[in-house]
C-alpha cells in the first residue's frame, strides 16, 4: 500500500513537472523575420534637398528577394536617415507583454558609396515617432559580398528620438513597458558623410525581443531558462544576450535569487517574472 502510494505520488510529481516544463505558455516574445520585403513602409528625415528611397528586388538576394536603400544628397549636405518599417512586425507591450531588450540581425552588402558616416541599425516606431539606437555603435563595413550584421541587448533607454539634426533628442525613448503603446520594428540607414548616392542592399532582416525570464529566448519560460541561468552563474556559461531577461525578480542584477524566483514561478505557482 505504502509503495503504491509512493509510486502514485511519484507519477503525479513527474506529471506536474512535465506540465510545468512543456505547457506553461510564453510570458511574451516578439520575434520577427523577413526576407521578402513585401509589406514595408519607408520614409526619411533629411536636410533640405536630400532624399532616400527603398527598392525591392526579386533576385540577387541572399536568397532571391531583397531591398536596397539609396540615400541621395541635395545641395545642403547634412544628414539623411532612411527609415524602413515592417508593417507586419507589430508588438503591443500593454497587451502582449513588456520587452526587456531587442536584438537585431541583417544581411547586407555594399552597392555603392560606403565610406565614413554611414550606419545601419534597429528602428522603432511608436506613437508616430521614430526611435533609433545610437548609430555610432553600428557599421556595415565596405564589403560587396553578403555578410551578416548582428546587434544584441538594446534596451528602450538605448533608443532615442531621431530628428533632422542627426542627433535627435537622446532624452526621449520608446516605452517597452506595460504602459507602452503598440510598436513597429524595422531598420534604418544613416548617411552623413558621403558626397553622392549611397546604396546598400539588405536581406534576411530579423528582430528578436526578450521578455523577462525567457533567458534563452526560445519563446517559453521553462526549466531550460533555469538551467541556462545556473550555467551562466556557476559554470562559466554564456551570459544571456539580454542580461535583463535573467533578472527575473527585478532586483537589478542576475543572481541566485532569480533562479529561485523562476523555480517558484514554474513549480510553486509564484508570480511571473516582472517588474510590476
Contact positions vs Ca ion (CB under 5 A):
35, 61, 65, 203, 214, 216, 218, 225, 247, 249, 251, 258
CB of 221 to Ca ion, least distance (A): 6
Q: 121 vs 214, which CB is nearer to Ca ion?
A: 214
Taking the complex as a whole, the smallest distance from the CB of residue 58 to Ca ion amounts, in Å, to 9
Q: Report the residue number, 61 or 97, with the smaller CB distance to Ca ion.
A: 61
* CB nearer Ca ion, residue 156 or residue 248: 248
Closest CB to Ca ion among 73 and 187? Answer: 187
CB of 98 to Ca ion, least distance (A): 16
Distance separating alpha carbons of residues 130 and 174, to the nearest angstrom: 9
CB of 271 to Ca ion, least distance (A): 14
CB of 111 to Ca ion, least distance (A): 16
Residue nearest to Ca ion (CB): 35
Q: Identify which of residues 21 and 164 has a Cβ nearer to Ca ion in the complex.
A: 21
User: Shortest distance, CB of residue 215 to Ca ion, whole angstroms?
Assistant: 6
Q: 68 has which bridge partners?
A: 55, 201
Q: Compute the C-alpha angle 121/82/148, nearest 5°.
A: 35
- Per the CB < 8 A criterion, the answer to whether 120 and 196 are in contact is no
Would you say 61 or 98 has its CB closer to Ca ion? 61
Which string of DSSP letters, residue by residue, matches the chain?
-HHHHHHHHHHHHHHHHHHHHHTSPPS--EEEEESS--SEEEEEEESTT-EEEEEEEEEEETTEEEEEEEEE--SS---EEEEEEEEEEEE-HHHH----EEEEEEEEEEEE---SSEEEEEEEEETTEEEE--GGG----S-SS-EEEEEEEE-GGG-EE--TTSS-BTT-----STT---EEEEEEEEESS-SS-EEEEEEEEEEEEEPTT-TT-SSS-SHHHHHHHHHHHHS-PPPPSSHHHH-TT-SSS-SHHHHHHHHHHHHS-PPPS---
Q: In angstroms, give the least distance from the CB of 44 to Ca ion.
A: 23
Return the number of the residue (82 or 212) whose C-beta is nearest Ca ion.
Answer: 212
Rank residues 49 and 63 by Cβ distance to Ca ion and give the closer one: 63
Least CB distance to Ca ion at residue 21 (A): 11
Report residue 64: phi and psi, to 5°: 55, -120
Amino acid at each position: 500500500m505504502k509503495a503504491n502510494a509512493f509510486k502514485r505520488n511519484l507519477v503525479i510529481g513527474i506529471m506536474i513537472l512535465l506540465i510545468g516544463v512543456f505547457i506553461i505558455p510564453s510570458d511574451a516574445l516578439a520575434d520577427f523575420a523577413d526576407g521578402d520585403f513585401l509589406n514595408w513602409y519607408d520614409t526619411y528625415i533629411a536636410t533640405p534637398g536630400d532624399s532616400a528611397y527603398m527598392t525591392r528586388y526579386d533576385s540577387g538576394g541572399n536568397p532571391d528577394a531583397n531591398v536596397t536603400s539609396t540615400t541621395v544628397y541635395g545641395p545642403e549636405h547634412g544628414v539623411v536617415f532612411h527609415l524602413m518599417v515592417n508593417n507586419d512586425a507589430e508588438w503591443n507591450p500593454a497587451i502582449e507583454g513588456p520587452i526587456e531588450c531587442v536584438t537585431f540581425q541583417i544581411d547586407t552588402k555594399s552597392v555603392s558609396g560606403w565610406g565614413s558616416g554611414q550606419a545601419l541599425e534597429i528602428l522603432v516606431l511608436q506613437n508616430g515617432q521614430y526611435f533609433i539606437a545610437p548609430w555610432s555603435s553600428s557599421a556595415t563595413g565596405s564589403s560587396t559580398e553578403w555578410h551578416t550584421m548582428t546587434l544584441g541587448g538594446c534596451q528602450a533607454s538605448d533608443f532615442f528620438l531621431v530628428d533632422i539634426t542627426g542627433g535627435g533628442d537622446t532624452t526621449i525613448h520608446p516605452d517597452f513597458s506595460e504602459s507602452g503603446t503598440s510598436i513597429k520594428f524595422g531598420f534604418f540607414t544613416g548617411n552623413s558623410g558621403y558626397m553622392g548616392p549611397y546604396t546598400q542592399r539588405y536581406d534576411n532582416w530579423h528582430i528578436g525581443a526578450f521578455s523577462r525570464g525567457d533567458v534563452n529566448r526560445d519563446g517559453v519560460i521553462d526549466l531550460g531558462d533555469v538551467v541556462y541561468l545556473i550555467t551562466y552563474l556557476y559554470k562559466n556559461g554564456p551570459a544571456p544576450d539580454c542580461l535583463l531577461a535573467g533578472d527575473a525578480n527585478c532586483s537589478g542584477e542576475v543572481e541566485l535569487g532569480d533562479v529561485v524566483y523562476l523555480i517558484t514561478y514554474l513549480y510553486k505557482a509564484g508570480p511571473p517574472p516582472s517588474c510590476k
